[in-house]
């Protein structure tokens, strides 16, 4: 697989490399990442030909945006694509304790939800300042849905569809962004959103993977028919498709339950039979679908990124996909074409 191949987001002119850089880990997700390690990972990604970089205000409460912007600032502006997210504003703590949201040593801000028209406009401008760039190519409404908001979902969803989407449409019409969409971990809210507006792209994490193919239940075909393409994140489902079914393996940020461990063991057995590393199959699987534009790889250092990029290049025989279908581990309609 050529990781520098480009595909467009939806029907826009924004083209992204099929392998792309996910910025959550260098925002200190779960553990501190040194500036040197973050810069090394970004430099390795650039030298390998990756030209799409995704970040968000939420990642380290601005830290990821600052690191990615600092790296990209001296690169020719037309040579890369950067996406960020809207839906949270970062408020200065002014001496209050840093909230625990899973980021180690974040910047001294508190994220506050705001999906309104004004909130999206303010978030866009603030991200430009943190990045130190004059343009963000793609903006995504971040973390709408019942998984994040519970009983507050209807209110936030209404703000997003009535106000936030209008702001995104205006920014695109003015040429300030090239594409817009939604970035979430759940399928249902994307189908709900398509009933209110057209979107160029969706960033979907963890729901279209070798282990979890729930996105196939209506979303993929709907997106393909509507001209909305997918940016796929979380292809390792929080790590279990890297480690395999070992003690302590994590799935969806939690210790993997017995049924998930058993399913991964069966998937790994098939991969082993064909001499294909489990992470390589996990990285390549989503890109086989015509609705998918790119797969994000989120890393903390250059060595991790090197292993992931090598996974994109491992030859995967068609018989492996056939075996997964035969064993009931892959839906037949999702079998990658030879």
Q: Which positions are annotated as active-site residues?
A: 54, 59, 85
The torsion region of residue 227 among left (phi > 0), alpha (psi -120 to 50) and beta comes to: left
DSSP 166-190: HHHHHHHHTTS-SEEEEEES-SHHH
Tokens for 271? 């991969």
Contact call for residues 267 and 235 (beta carbons, < 8 A): no
- With beta carbons less than 8 A apart as the criterion, state whether 137 and 83 touch: yes
* DSSP element (H, E) containing 59: none
Query: Torsion-angle region of residue 161: left (phi > 0), alpha (psi -120 to 50) or beta?
Result: alpha
Judge whether 245 and 256 are in contact, CB under 8 Å: yes
Strands 179-184 and 138-142, by their bridges, are: parallel
> Is residue 203 a contact partner of residue 183, using CB atoms and an 8 Å limit?
yes
Phi and psi at residue 8, to the nearest 5° = -80, 150
């Amino acid at each position: 697989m050529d990781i520098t191949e480009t595909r467009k987001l939806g029907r826009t002119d924004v083209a992204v490399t099929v392998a792309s850089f996910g910025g959550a880990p260098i925002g200190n997700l779960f553990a501190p990442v040194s500036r040197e390690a973050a810069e090394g990972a970004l430099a390795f990604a650039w030298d390998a030909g990756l030209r799409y970089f995704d970040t968000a205000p939420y990642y380290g409460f601005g830290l990821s945006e600052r690191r990615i912007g600092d790296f990209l600032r001296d690169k020719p502006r037309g040579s890369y694509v950067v996406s960020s997210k809207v839906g949270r504003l970062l408020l200065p703590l002014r001496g209050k304790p840093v909230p625990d949201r899973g980021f180690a040593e974040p910047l001294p801000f508190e994220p506050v939800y705001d999906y309104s028209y004004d909130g999206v406009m303010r978030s866009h401008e603030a991200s430009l300042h943190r990045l130190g760039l004059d343009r963000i190519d793609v903006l995504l409404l971040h973390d709408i849905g019942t998984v994040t908001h519970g009983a507050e979902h209807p209110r936030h969803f209404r703000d997003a569809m009535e106000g936030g989407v209008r702001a995104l449409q205006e920014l695109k019409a003015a040429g300030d962004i090239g594409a817009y969409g939604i970035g979430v971990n759940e399928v249902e809210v994307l189908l709900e959103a398509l009933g209110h507006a057209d979107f160029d792209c969706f960033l979907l994490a963890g729901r279209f993977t070798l282990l979890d193919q729930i996105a196939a239940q209506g979303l993929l075909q709907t997106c393909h028919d509507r001209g909305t393409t997918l940016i796929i994140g979380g292809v390792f489902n929080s790590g279990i498709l890297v480690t395999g079914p070992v003690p302590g393996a994590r799935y969806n940020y939690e210790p993997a339950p017995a049924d998930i461990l058993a399913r991964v063991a069966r998937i790994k057995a098939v991969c082993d039979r064909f001499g294909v590393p489990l992470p390589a199959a996990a990285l390549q699987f989503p890109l086989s679908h015509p609705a998918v534009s790119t797969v994000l790889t989120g890393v903390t250092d250059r060595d991790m990124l090197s292993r992931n990029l090598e996974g994109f290049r491992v030859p995967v025989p068609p018989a492996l996909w056939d075996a997964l279908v035969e064993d009931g581990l892959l839906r037949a309609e999702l079998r990658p074409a030879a």
